[in-house]
A and B are shown apart, each in its own frame.
Chain A
């Protein structure tokens, strides 16, 4: 059997602060298979961003290992792209939209291929016409689509997303959710998606992992028994959606004060 795409083993992290050591991740073990859409939910400050930064090699965890395709990572691995919550900071304001999408390929992908991928990615997020504009000339939702297009251009096997839709309005948010499900099919990606919104996690995912408050351990691993394609209205009406949603919400509540930790 081939190894899982992502394998996290006993991942630990403590930040050194003036008050001493602050343990955030206290031994997380889970794996993600190719083709899955896994959401991670957990209370604010539980270490979701810390987890994603460890997985993407931006942060060296204090303990444990992260393996991508069977290889333990040390630094930023190949085959992985990241979408941040703060699209404003994540897009480079001195580069046009097309240049932003092409940017990560600079020096590693030949020019004609760069152009092809840029066009294809912008097309996929419906922004082909905005290639020559600057990111700051676009709305928030459009900017996050540019960030997604840029991730697509990198052709990642695994896409990491850190509360990517937390800063947009509700309508834009459901549009972006559906867009994400579409490009996931089109580009055949595995996605690890951090959110603190239980509804969103169930709507998007094949599986939801829930985390406790820091020092964080994993509290639940819930498979979502819903078929694709999903629909903002009908999927949310299905009995399976409602029961899964309640199950995850209950698990999160148990993990809160007086719950699992007690």
Chain B
């Protein structure tokens, strides 16, 4: 039974569509003068960030506040908490505070899975990015954005759409979450990267792999550029920044090779001049800003559904209907 969101691999098609449809409805509310909803009044949501991430943290915080949750920010970066052993102690503290949900960002792959699988705390665990493992809400907002552009409408999936994910797949939690989710939604994923930046065993993933960006561009409905850290160069993943952007960067010329309707996505923060030129980043086909707005709606949907007792995949809601519920009707 999953009352957590640790990996998009745990989401079935119906779960994923429920989240996207809910987010679509909730996105309406962001257009109103009064954006706040009373839904999570009295619920405590903790943002537990062991790693800096202004964007993700802000997005979650906005989502939590729009749902009227009590928000506690627990920044573990740099404090004594950043040392490994204390994940457990931190969790016990949060449990004592009565956290109904913990949004966790951690530099170690698997830390959210560890929290969710432990008896250290009882609230829902929402993975806000763990090491080089997963970042499920990012994938959900990417899917949400893609659906709006490629197949809008409640209940719609991404069947038959083709998405290229380009760049440092090896170190990317966004790529891992996206390959599961997009595949679940019926899309075809093509990873494009130099062989050094693809994980061993990728041939078993539900995706295609290409080393040649130019040949892939004309046949995709969307291209998602992953951030490439310059420091990777020092570990010989690629020779120089210049060579990387020449072979795998998205510039105006390459943009022109995309089909008319195709969009350019980026999870941010962008490294302009590396994986994407300013010209492309600022073009109307680039959905970066839109993705940020969509992130809030998607995170609201996840929080609402998890705290409301929805159970993703292989399970059913915890509480059977009780006398109390009957009386409350």
Same complex for A and B? Answer no
**CB within 8 Å of A: which residues of B?**
none
**CB within 8 Å of B: which residues of A?**
none
